[in-house]
Chains A and B, each alone.
Chain A
């Protein structure tokens, strides 16, 4: 059997980029085997750990000098849960298909909801913590306006954003907003993005706005 192979070259990329690139490739699919190249030990560890979370299998790890080649077999797609048609007495209508999971969580303030700022901040902390315990995760979190504060040094939510980043959730913080709050150098997780990228991602749909 000839396995089709896709290669992701994550050499020279800082953590958690290798995990993010691996996750993106697995989400795209279209191959039998994914080959990820890394050149540092913690990236190797993080990608292997992520593959476990993603319920895929690491088939092999080959190391040559400083480069490691991780061979990943994606999990087989979930079987279709169509009920067999039985021509008997009519039963209840089939349940509508559940809505697809959000790919993007859009956070445009440091708290959730309006009413009391302290409560809003607490709710955001709780939400991000709960997200880290969740089985399915969004592909990315986009931070704008007050939301960028969550990702800077000293943020109470930094630890949870870092946990999410380790599991392959891309954290994108609007550059204009960071600059406005003079926090550009204080970004402690994720990377700086811009309105073009952010608007493009939001327009793809499947976004949860907090």
Chain B
């Protein structure tokens, strides 16, 4: 399960990325998807996020969103949808 974690500020997201770097769950700092927020900002994309929720909240995560990627074929563009988690 992939999650997006949003933070009160981009700085907070950056801080969380630094804190979580090197831990078992891979995190990536990416721009907040437009479906979640329209203003610019950064969030964390956490892959295989089972069990990472506590850790993310401890690092200041405000909202968690589950990411679903659908793809028409192996080389088609991925389409992402997001829903609040839990």
Chain A contacts to B: CB under 8 angstroms: 49-53, 122, 125-126, 129-130, 135, 156, 159
For residue A156, which residues in chain B have a CB less than 8 angstroms away from its CB? Answer: 29
For residue A130, which residues in chain B have a CB less than 8 angstroms away from its CB? Answer: 31
Are A49 and B75 touching (Cβ within 8 A)?
yes
Q: Say which size band chain B's interface belongs to.
A: 10 to 19
Q: Interface of chain A, helix or strand or loop or mixed? A: helix
Chain B contacts to A: CB under 8 angstroms: 10, 14, 28-31, 42, 73-77
Are B76 and A52 touching (Cβ within 8 A)?
yes
Are B30 and A129 touching (Cβ within 8 A)?
yes
A50–B29 CA distance with the chains assembled, in angstroms: 26
Are B10 and A53 touching (Cβ within 8 A)?
no
For residue A122, which residues in chain B have a CB less than 8 angstroms away from its CB? Answer: 10, 14, 29, 42
Are A52 and B14 touching (Cβ within 8 A)?
no
Q: Looking across the interface, which residue of chain A has its beta carbon closest to that of B45?
A: A129
Are B76 and A126 touching (Cβ within 8 A)?
no
For residue B77, which residues in chain A have a CB less than 8 angstroms away from its CB? Answer: 135
Q: Looking across the interface, which residue of chain B has its beta carbon closest to that of A50?
A: B75
**Least distance between B81 CB and chain A CB atoms (Å):** 14
Q: A52-B73, A122-B14, A129-B28 are in contact. List 14 more A-B contacts (CB 8 A).
A: A49-B74, A52-B74, A52-B75, A52-B76, A53-B75, A122-B10, A122-B42, A125-B29, A126-B31, A126-B42, A129-B30, A130-B31, A156-B29, A159-B28
**Least distance between A22 CB and chain B CB atoms (Å):** 13
A122–B31 CA distance with the chains assembled, in angstroms: 10
Q: Looking across the interface, which residue of chain B has its beta carbon closest to that of A54?
A: B75
A159–B74 CA distance with the chains assembled, in angstroms: 20
